[in-house]
Chains A and B, each alone.
Chain A
Amino acid sequence: GENVEQHPSTLSVQEGDSAVIKCTYSDSASNYFPWYKQELGKRPQLIIDIRSNVGEKKDQRIAVTLNKTAKHFSLHITETQPEDSAVYFCAASRSALYAGGTSYGKLTFGQGTILTVHP
């Protein structure tokens, strides 16, 4: 099955700096890579995702890059703010066909990165 490795496990930055979190995956058939942010005691929430036919995607201060050849993808947060402090998870999924042709998939998560942004 799929294996997703995430680094670093903790990341501490000063407000205004950039933060980069990297993930590698093992299944070359994986084609969907979301990133989730989880605040303490809360549920994970999707912040950005990328599909395998795209190399980069941006949404304001957040960007994700994908290198299919090397099987790794990264989350980039620019101009970090204290409210960016949270645990960030990467994930990977591949489509799986079930009866009737409907496409599903299983999401495999990385271990998480605790990001702390110091004011």
Chain B
Amino acid sequence: NAGVTQTPKFQVLKTGQSMTLQCAQDMNHEYMSWYRQDPGMGLRLIHYSVGAGITDQGEVPNGYNVSRSTTEDFPLRLLSAAPSQTSVYFCASSITGPSGNTIYFGEGSWLTVV
């Protein structure tokens, strides 16, 4: 049981490049989400999904796209990377949502945009 798996762990991008952060979970969780973590600002919700084919915006969605074609996978796409997107990204999942259910985080992806 791998839990929540994120790749890559580290990435350096040039401004304007695009990339996809991969996230997969093997716990059959309906709810998956992406957070970014910046110093002094805690974790902020980017996008989330309550099941295959259903996604919604979080607190800071601009510049990011998501899709949920399967229960297991929830990739995060940066369309045109900007230095402001330099951050640590965490994918997380839970059975039916964070209200009363334990959220399981991936190990994080460190992204630097130069």
Interface residues, chain A, with chain B CB atoms under 8 Å away: 1, 4, 6, 9, 31-32, 34, 42-46, 49, 51, 89, 91, 93-96, 98, 102-112
Contact = CB atoms under 8 A, between A and B. Distances in A.
A44 B50 contact: no
Interface residues of B, number: 27
18 contacts: A32-B98, A43-B105, A49-B102, A51-B100, A89-B42, A91-B98, A94-B99, A102-B30, A104-B31, A104-B97, A106-B48, A106-B58, A107-B99, A107-B103, A109-B43, A110-B42, A111-B41, A112-B42
Given A43-B108, A44-B90, A44-B105, A109 B44 contact: yes
B59 A103 contact: no
Contacts of A91: 98
B99 A9 contact: no
A105 B97 contact: yes
B107 A103 contact: no
B27 interface: no
A93 B40 contact: no
B105 A93 contact: no
A103 B90 contact: no
A45 B102 CA distance: 9
B50 A98 contact: yes
A111 B42 contact: yes
B98 A106 contact: yes
A106 B106 contact: no
Interface string B69-89: 000000000000000000000
B45 interface: yes
